[in-house]
Structure 1
Amino acid sequence: MTALPARNFPMHVSVEEARAMLAALLPMPGTETVGLEAALGRTLAAPLPALVSHPSATESALDGIACREADTLGATRERPVGLRVIGESRAGEPFAGTVAAGECVRIYTGAPIPPGTDAICPVEELTDAGDDVQLLRPASPGDVRPEGGDFRAGDPVMAAGLYLSAPRVALAAALGHRELPVRRRHRVALLSTGDEVLEPGEPLKAGQVYDSNRYGLAAMLRECGCDVLMLGHAPDSPAALHDAIERAGGADLLVTSGGVSMGKYDFMRDLLIEHGRVAFWKVRMRPGGPALLGGWQGLPVIGLPGNPVSSLVVFHVIVRPALTGLPVQALTLRAATPFRALPDKAAFWRGVIEGGQVRDYGRQGSGILRSLSDADALVIVPEGQPVAAGDDVQVVLL
C-alpha cells in the first residue's frame, strides 16, 4: 500500500456526527407547487389548514334508519319496537323534513342525519313491515358522525416537513387543497467506481461483480424523492474519476460507491484529499466504516464503501435522513438471540423479526447482499454494549 496523503480532517466520527455534517452541507431546497397527482413522495413545505370541515354535516356511519334514540329504548328481538318510515336520506340528497316521535327515515352511509333524529339502527337489526320497520335493538347515537368530527375548517391539520405518503395525499385532498406547496427535489448525481464492476448481463470473469450498488442506490435516492443524475461507472483511474465528477455540475450532492477505503487503488479518497475538500473520513460503524464526506468545487460529495451491504447501510442510516430531513425511525423489540458488540463502533446487524422479537440473521458479512433482502431490520448495538437474548434492542426497519 502506498502512503496516504497528509490529512487534517476528522476521522472515525460517530454516526450522529456524520449525519449532521452531511445535512449541514446540503443546500436548503426551494419551494414549488404541485398538483395532488404529483405530490406522492414529496415533502410538504408549508402548513396545510383545513379549508372545509369533515364530515361536512352530521352523518350516518352505516346503512339503516335514523330516528330518536328515546323511541327505541327497550327494543329486543323478542319485543321489537316499530317506527313509521317517512322518507330517506342519502349522500348528496338529504331528507328535507323533520322527523317526529315514532317516525324514522331510511339512511345510508355518509348521508346527513335529518333534523329531529339523534341515533342510527343498522339494517341488520331491522325487519320491514310495509311502511313500518321493526327494531330488534335500540338505535345508537354512537353510529352518528358529528360534523367536523375529523377536522373543522381552519384547523391546522398538516405541518410543514411532512413526508407525503399516499394517506397524507388523500388527507390533503380531503382538506380541500388541489395543489400543495412542496420542497423542490434534491438533484443527486450518482457514480459507481471500480475496475472489477460490470454492467449486469455482461459476461463475468473471476473476481468481477455486477454493479448492484448503482442500481440499489438509485432506487433508494428515488425513494427519498430525489431527482437522480446517473453518471454511470468509472474505472479505478484518477483521470476517469475527475472527468466523471465534472459531469455532476448542477447537482446538490454527488454520491459515489467504492474507492474510499485504505487500498492502493482507492483513488476517490485521494482525489478529494489532494484536490477537493474532506469533512470527515471513516465512521465508527459496521458495516460501512470507510465512508467519506467532502466537497469538489462547491459540490458536496459523500463517498460510500464499495461493499454492497456497507454502501446501502450507510445510505439508510446517514444519507437518507440528511436528504429527507426525517429522523431515523427506530423501534424497540425484544432480542430473541444475542447480538455482539464492537469495542469502538456501533454495529448495525441484520435481523429477522418474528413474533414481535428480532433474531440475528446470522450471515453478517458486508459482501452478502442477499442478507439485506432477506432481513427485516438493522439491529443497533451501541459501542461496547452487547445485547443478550431477552434484552430490549433498537431496530431500524428495512
Structure 2
Amino acid sequence: MIKAAIMGYGTVGAGVYEAVVTNQKVIAAEIGEALEVKRILDLRKFPGDPAEQLITDKFSDIEEDEEISLVVETMGGTTPAYEFVKAALLKGKHVVTSNKALVAAHGTELLQIARDKKVNFFFEAAVGGGIPVIRTLGTGYQGQVITEITGILNGTTNYILTRMDREGAEFGDVLADAQRLGYAERNPEADIEGHDTCRKIAILSSLVTGKEVNFEDVYTEGISKIDSTDFRYALELKASIKLVGAAQFAGNQVTVSVFPLLVSDENPLYAVQGVYNGIVIKGNLLGTTMLYGSGAGKLPTASAVLADMMEAAKHKNENVRFGWTAEKQAVTSHESEKHRYFVRLSGDAASLAAAKEQFEAERVIQLPGLEEVAIVSAPMTEFTYRERAAKVPNILAMIRAELSER
C-alpha cells in the first residue's frame, strides 16, 4: 500500500482527498496497489469532516513517518511550502504539488534534490489546472521541436475580460463581482497584473528548453488598464482581448512575455471564455494544436494532482527523467518581439496624421460617439514601436494585436 500525506486542506487539498477516496478502486487497479491518505497537515480543525481524524498541525508527523512515501503540497505560496517540500524530498519522499509560485521560484533546486534522492517532484496541476499540458509537453510531443506556446493561463483574468467583452462592463465592476464570487482573491494583484501567468509561462518555457527560465526575466503586463472602450473597438475588428503568456523558441533564442493581446475570431484562443484556459502549442511536425479545459477548480485541479500521485506510485523506486537542469536559459529582450499594435489617440488631426505615418497604419477606426480615433499598425518590433510612439502626440492606449489580414 502507498501511504500519502496532504499538506494544506483548502479547496485543492480537500479535492485531492475526495478524489483518492472516490476513485480508490480505479487507482488500485491502475497502480497495482492501494493508495491511502494517512495524514493531512493544516492549522485549522475540521470537526465533522470525513478526514477529521487525519488532521495534524505538525509537519514532523509527516516528515518523520517512514510509512508515508508520497507527499502532496497544496498550501500555496512559498513559505512554508518550500521548506516543507524540500525537507520531504530530503527524507526520500516523492512530492506532488499544485503550487506554481513554488515551482517557478524553487523548481530547479527541488528537481535536483529529487534526482539525487531517486524520488520524484511532479507539478502537473501548477499550470492549467486540470489540463494535462505538462505531461503532454513531456511525453505527448516527444520528438517535436516546439516553436511557440501561447496560452490563456489564468481563469480570473479571462473571466473578467469575458464579462467586459460580453456586457460592455468596466474593469473595476467586474473585478468586484469576481471577488464576490470567489474567482479573484481579496488582493487580486497576482492575477490582474499578470504575475500568475508569468510564472506559468516560465515553467512551460523551462520544460521546453530543459533549462531554467527565470520568471523575473519575463516581460509582464496585466489587464488593469483595459476598459470598455477597448472592447468596442475589438468588436469592430471582429476580435477580443485576452491576457496571454507567450513564448517563442528559435534555436538558442527564446522570448517569453505576458501581455493583453487583441486576437481575431480566427484565432483559437478567441473562443476561450470565462474561467477556462486554452494553450496553443506549435511544433515543427505537428503544426498547431490547442489544449482546452478548466484552469482551476476543486476537482479538475485535484484530477491533475491525482495523476501525478499515481505516476509517482508507479515509479516509487526510481526518478523519472523530467523537468530542467540548473543551467540558465537566456531570455531575449522583449524589444525584439514583433507585433501589430492597436493604438488609441485623441481625435485631433495632428495626432492621427503622425500615427498614420509613424505606425504605417493598416487600418483607421472611428466609432460614433467617441472623441478619439484608433489605428492598427503594420508589424514592427517593440523597439521600433517605442521609438515611433515617442513621435506621436496624445496616445491614449496601446494593445498588441494578432489580427487577420482581411
TM-score between both structures, scaled by the size of structure 2: 0.27
Q: Which structure has greater helix proportion?
A: 2
Q: Which structure has greater strand proportion?
A: 1
TM-score between both structures, scaled by the size of structure 1: 0.27
Greater C-alpha Rg: 1
